[in-house]
Each structure stands twice: as C-alpha cells, then as structure tokens.
Chains A and B, each alone.
Chain A
C-alpha cells in the first residue's frame, strides 16, 4: 500500500499530463473501489459505474489537489461511499447479486471453495446495517486504518471501532452455521 506522499506524487504527476501515473493510480485504487462498491450495492454493473465515476472525479480534481490534504485513496473512498449511498437511497430494497470472483492461481477445487467463501461473506455482509458494512469492508477487506475510515465515514475513531466490532460479531454469528460446508474445521467460531 502506498503512503500518502506516494499517492499524492502520482496524482501530481498525472495533473502534469503523465498518463503512466494514471495507470498506476488506477491499478492501485480502482480494484479496491470496485470491491467496496460491489459489496455496498450488491450489483456489479452499478459498482463499475460508481468506480468509473469516482476515478473520473479524481482525475478532474488532480490539478487542484493540495499537499497535506487527506490521502487520495481516502478521498476516493469517501466519494465512492457517497455515490453508493445516493444509489441505495434511490432504489428499493433488493437482494444483492453476488459477483463472480475469479482467481486463476488456485486449483479448481480451491477456487470453488474460495468463491463459495467469498459469496458467503458477501451474503453475510449484505445483512449488516449499512454503516457496519462500510466499516467492516474498509477495515478488514480493504485494510484501511481506523483514522482513515473515520475520515471516510465522517465519524470519530471510537465510533469506527464500535461499528467494526459490532459488524464482526454479527458476521461471526451469520457465518458460524456455514463453516463446515465451506471447509473450515468444526471448531467453535
């Protein structure tokens, strides 16, 4: 994961017309934004639109980016989160469509198991309240720090810790019934 300075440097290089910096930023941020949006919206096509829109806003904002602002990735996650929230508010409740999760490096059995686990995780995440879901995804799947998540969700660090802890407790309860079918030991969860 790049530091704040590295990300800001890439953005500054893009603002000067360096498209290789845009490629590096895309490879760094877009997959994470897509995962986040897919799990928030439960719809791959909408998540791709949100990801593209977020990156477009990042490109447009690049010339005005000031050193010392939040990390570009934190800024991008905040934009993506707002776009997801807007879309969720506009539509009726729906059952999330689980995305395919290709992994060419694993064998067929392992890949199927991995996919099943990912789908089980997505199904459980979809049952969490929105803010818990956001906090758990950002903390445990995208690996952001609590202060970064606090900046994205615009809450305090303590609130992030609370949201994450409650989300994980509920996830544990939701997934405990499926651990054997997903290849985990039949120990307590």
Chain B
C-alpha cells in the first residue's frame, strides 16, 4: 500500500483551495474602473487649437499685438522730441490741472514745492 507523505495530502488541500473563480460582477467592476482610467485618445488638431485659444495663449497674443501697436503709434505717429520737452511738459501739466488736480485737490504741483 502506498503511504502518503504530508506534502502529498497538503497538496490535495492546496489544489482544492485553487478553485475559487472571479465573480462576473466583480470582473465587470474592475473593467469599468480600467475603462475610466484608460488613457484618452489623442485629440485632433481642431481640439488642440480650441484648447490653445481658450487658454492663456490667446490673451497673451492679444496683449503682445496691442503693445506693439501702441509702441508704433507712439514712436512713429506722434514722435516726441527731447528738444520740445518744455512744450510737452507744459501739455502734461495742463492735463494734470484739468484731470488730476480736481481729483487730488491741488491746483498746481509747484505749490507743493516740486
């Protein structure tokens, strides 16, 4: 008669312990998790352009264009000569008197000792 070793009999127990399968409901939940985590398909060029224009890039471009136009206007359309400083400084003081002084409550900056 064959005599079984303890390993033989434990092996039969271990074999019996390997029969547990994966329930369909749990498998479905795991695969649903996988689908929700899976990497999305790369967006086409239209989607990328839309993302680009709706982010910070578009305001930056608009700001750059605006600053360039303002610079060209100040430098080319209304150039200001250093030698004409008394004239444009007087104009600036005129603007101050008309606009800033009523707000601040001072008529002439020279009165403040500037």
List the count of A-B residue pairs having beta carbons below 8 Å apart: 118
Near B by CB (< 8 A), chain A positions 98-117 give 99, 101-103, 114-115, 117
Tell me the dominant secondary structure on chain B's binding face: helix
Contact partners of B3 in chain A: CB under 8 A: 187-188
The contact string, 1 if C-beta is below 8 Å from chain B, for chain A 49-76, is 0011001100110110000000000000
Q: Report how far A106 CA is from B80 CA in the complex, Å.
A: 100
With A34-B22, A172-B6: A118-B17 Cβ-Cβ less than 8 Å: yes
Q: For the side of the interface on A, what is the size category?
A: 35 or more
Q: B37 to A56, Cβ gap below 8 A?
A: yes
Q: A120 to B13, Cβ gap below 8 A?
A: yes
Q: Report how far A172 CA is from B31 CA in the complex, Å.
A: 39
Decide yes or no whether B85 CB sits under 8 A from chain A.
no
Contact partners of A117 in chain B: CB under 8 A: 12-13, 16-17
Decide yes or no whether B18 CB sits under 8 A from chain A.
yes
Q: B39 to A179, Cβ gap below 8 A?
A: no
Q: A30 to B22, Cβ gap below 8 A?
A: yes
Q: Report how far A140 CA is from B16 CA in the complex, Å.
A: 11
Q: A16 to B22, Cβ gap below 8 A?
A: no
Contact partners of B31 in chain A: CB under 8 A: 19, 22-23, 26
What are 7 A-B pairs with beta-carbon distances under 8 A? A14-B34, A17-B41, A31-B20, A48-B26, A52-B30, A56-B30, A189-B6
